[in-house]
């Protein structure tokens, strides 16, 4: 840290991303919830042509084609869609737009690790609401709070989904505040709140192409909301970074939306693998939440989450664990390909044997 950094910023503890080893062939990498399958052949084709030849030119700052494609996909108007450089950027812009010293924010104590980081970055007082003992979300504390609310649904890293009627209660219960529903994992289960957009002008849905659309490396996130909220996000984007999505990513993302068959096949595959891995782990004595996401949140029968993580890493399998004492007994395991999960299960059996379970 230099002596020039603003005091406010020196107090921000940055987000710590999951490990991203660059020797990808060394590890079974199931630690950051990416899709194990490559982008569809049609997406790769789209990257080969026009978009690459035109890299000398700036991309479309209005992202018109992609907004249209997403609007068509979700049955919305183009003005109800916004796209950003990863949903992290969309979330950051939402904090920038709706949270500051005078406008607090609120989110569950155990949720996506970026929310408290953004709260600090934008100097917004944060209220963190404890989850129930079983990691479900209590609705009552989120009613009438006078703060901007951020809820991941399904939640991370627990994978637990909040029923749509509870989401609606929270949105309806805070008419003077924006309620952001982060649907990063919605394609793997749970009910989207998309259908509520026309009824509630304070609902902002955020999504990503990183988890279910094979584009984590392309960086593409989106927001769905009424036109006024979308205009707020555009106001920030055009005051900050108008060319925030590269030509290559725009081309890839448009095709990823259009290739609905490939998308559906990948999601189905992940859900099937998730069920298989969950029952294999349950048989070994693991406890786990009812995850609707592309990961399992599991408690090994012996050892802490960190011990399990370390043992698996030795065996060249990367999962994620969390230092927070409330969840330190758990590990989060991304659902990879069947081949990857077979290795994971085999190494897990080894771990249990070695731990004397
Ligand atoms: C992965 C994730 C994101 C970030 O996704 P990007 O689009 O890759 O920035 C946001 N929210 C939640 C809950 C996530 O799990």
Query: CB under 8 Å, gap of 24 or more: what pairs does 258-265 form?
Result: 258/42, 258/69, 259/40, 259/42, 259/43, 260/73, 262/40, 262/41, 262/42, 263/40, 263/187, 263/212, 263/213
Q: What's the pLDDT score for residue 81?
A: 98
> Is any ligand 1 atom within 6 A of the Cβ of residue 156?
yes
| pLDDT band (50, 70, 90) for residue 82 | very high
| Chain segment 96-116, per-residue pLDDT in tens | 999 999 999 999 999 999 999
Strand partners, 318: 29
The H-assigned helical ranges of the chain are 7-10, 41-48, 50-53, 64-74, 86-98, 114-121, 164-172, 227-237, 247-258, 260-283, 305-314, 338-354
**To the nearest whole percent, how much of the chain has pLDDT over 70?**
100
Distance between CA 30 and CA 353 in Å, rounded?
Answer: 22
| DSSP-based three-state secondary structure for 13 | coil
Distance between CA 184 and CA 76 in Å, rounded?
Answer: 19
> Is any ligand 1 atom within 6 A of the Cβ of residue 184?
yes
Exposure class string for 123-146: b at 16+ Cβ within 10 A, else e: ebebbebebeeebbbeeeebeebe
Question: What average pLDDT score do residues 9-22 get?
Answer: 88
Higher pLDDT, 175 or 11: 175
Average pLDDT of the chain is 96
Q: For residue 23, give Cα distances in angstroms to 26, 80, 127, 347.
A: 6, 41, 40, 20
Question: What average pLDDT score do residues 241-254 get?
Answer: 97
Q: What's the pLDDT score for residue 233?
A: 98
Check pLDDT > 90 for residue 11: no
> Is any ligand 1 atom within 6 A of the Cβ of residue 351?
no
| pLDDT band (50, 70, 90) for residue 207 | very high
| Chain segment 306-319, per-residue pLDDT in tens | 999 999 999 999 99
CA of 118 to the centre of ligand 1 (A): 13
The count of other CB atoms within 10 Å of the CB of residue 50 is 10
| pLDDT band (50, 70, 90) for residue 18 | confident
Taking a C-beta distance cutoff of 8 angstroms, is the pair 88, 184 a contact? no
> Is any ligand 1 atom within 6 A of the Cβ of residue 83?
no
For CA atoms 344, 350, 356, 357, give the dihedral sign: positive
Q: What's the pLDDT score for residue 274?
A: 98
| Chain segment 318-334, per-residue pLDDT in tens | 999 999 999 999 999 99
Smallest CA separation from ligand 1 atom 1, residue: 184
> Is any ligand 1 atom within 6 A of the Cβ of residue 259?
no
Distance between CA 309 and CA 305 in Å, rounded?
Answer: 6
| pLDDT band (50, 70, 90) for residue 176 | very high
Least confident of 1-15, 71-85, 142-156: 1-15
Taking a C-beta distance cutoff of 8 angstroms, is the pair 124, 99 a contact? yes
| pLDDT band (50, 70, 90) for residue 286 | very high
| pLDDT band (50, 70, 90) for residue 49 | confident
Predicted TM-score (pTM) of the model is: 0.97
């Amino acid at each position: 840290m230099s002596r020039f950094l603003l005091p406010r910023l020196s107090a921000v503890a940055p987000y710590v991303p999951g490990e991203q080893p660059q020797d990808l062939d060394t590890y079974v990498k199931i630690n950051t919830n990416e899709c194990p399958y490559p982008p569809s052949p049609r997406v790769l084709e789209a990257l080969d042509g026009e978009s690459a030849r035109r890299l000398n030119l700036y991309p479309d700052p209005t992202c018109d084609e992609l907004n249209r494609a997403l609007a068509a996909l979700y049955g919305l108007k183009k003005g109800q869609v916004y796209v950003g450089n990863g949903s992290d950027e969309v979330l950051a812009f939402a904090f920038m737009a709706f949270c500051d010293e005078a406008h607090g924010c609120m989110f569950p104590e155990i949720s996506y690790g970026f929310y408290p980081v953004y709260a600090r970055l934008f100097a917004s007082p944060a209220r963190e609401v404890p989850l129930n003992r079983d990691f479900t979300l209590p609705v009552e504390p989120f009613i009438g709070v006078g703060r901007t609310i951020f809820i991941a649904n399904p939640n991370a890293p627990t994978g637990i989904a909040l029923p749509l009627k509870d989401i609606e209660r929270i949105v309806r219960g805070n008419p003077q505040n924006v309620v952001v529903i982060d649907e990063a994992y919605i394609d793997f289960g749970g009910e989207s709140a998309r259908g509520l957009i026309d009824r509630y002008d304070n609902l902002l849905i955020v999504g990503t192409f990183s988890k279910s659309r094979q584009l984590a490396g392309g960086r593409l996130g989106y927001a769905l909301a009424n036109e006024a909220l979308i205009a707020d996000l555009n106001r920030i984007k055009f005051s900050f970074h108008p060319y925030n999505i590269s030509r290559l990513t725009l081309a890839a993302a448009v095709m990823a939306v259009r290739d609905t068959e490939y998308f559906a096949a990948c999601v189905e595959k992940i859900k099937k693998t998730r069920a298989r891995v969950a029952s294999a782990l349950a048989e070994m004595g693991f406890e786990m939440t009812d995850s609707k996401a592309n990961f399992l949140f599991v408690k090994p029968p012996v050892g802490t989450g960190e011990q399990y993580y370390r043992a698996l890493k030795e065996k060249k399998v990367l999962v994620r664990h969390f230092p927070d004492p409330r969840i330190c007994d758990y590990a989060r395991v991304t659902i990879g390909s069947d081949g990857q999960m077979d290795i994971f299960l085999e190494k897990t059996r080894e771990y249990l044997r070695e731990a004397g379970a």
